């Protein structure tokens, strides 16, 4: 079975963001790799200020999905930006679970659409979290 896992790049605050997401979704980090863990190139030494930045980390949030991320550093020619062409959708089993996720995810967020009964028949809300990541939360309407 094909799986798609979101991979988020941050401008130096990946670990802080993932601590926040661990508070939202629970779980543990099975791996945290820092740039200092990479094989080093003597001709291109790693600047000291990048050594503790995150090269890769992951947070399983269900049996099928892991949230993954890293610090994308301009020194490596990487540029970070959440430009609105991608949003992450969290599908909850019911409104209570959706509200629980929403309450934690919305800490410091900009609310685009509050959680409410949507015209298409689901319970839905959307926001941009304090790290600039856009999220949608959805569940069936409780009957």
Task: Tell whether 71 and 99 lie within a shared domain.
Answer: no
Close Cβ partners of 96 (under 8 Å, ≥ 6 residues apart): 142
Q: Is 32 left (phi over 0), alpha (psi -120 to 50) or beta?
A: beta
Identify which of 81, 138, 133, 85 has the alpha carbon closest to the alpha carbon of residue 109. 133
Domains contained in the chain, number: 2
- pLDDT tier at 93, thresholds 50, 70, 90: very high
Identify which of 56, 17, 15 has the alpha carbon closest to the alpha carbon of residue 37. 56
Task: Tell whether 59 and 107 lie within a shared domain.
Answer: no
Please tell me the predicted confidence (pLDDT) of residue 115.
98
How large is the average pLDDT for residues 12-33? 97
Q: Are 78 and 35 in contact (CB under 8 A)?
A: no
pLDDT at 82 over 70: no
Query: CATH code at 15?
Result: 3.10.180.10
Range of the domain at 130: 88-140
């Amino acid at each position: 079975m094909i799986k798609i896992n979101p991979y988020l790049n941050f401008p130096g605050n990946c670990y802080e963001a993932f601590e926040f997401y661990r508070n939202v979704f629970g779980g543990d980090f099975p791996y945290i790799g820092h740039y200092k863990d990479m094989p080093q190139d003597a001709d291109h030494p790693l600047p000291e200020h990048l050594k503790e930045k995150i090269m890769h980390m992951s947070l399983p949030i269900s049996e099928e999905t892991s949230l993954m991320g890293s610090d994308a550093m301009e020194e490596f020619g990487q540029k970070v930006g959440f430009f609105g062409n991608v949003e992450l959708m969290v599908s909850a089993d019911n409104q209570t679970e959706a509200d629980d996720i929403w309450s934690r995810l919305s800490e410091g967020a900009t609310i685009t659409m509050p959680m409410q009964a949507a015209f298409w028949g689901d319970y839905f809300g959307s926001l941009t979290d304090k790290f600039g990541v856009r999220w949608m939360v959805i569940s069936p309407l409780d009957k």
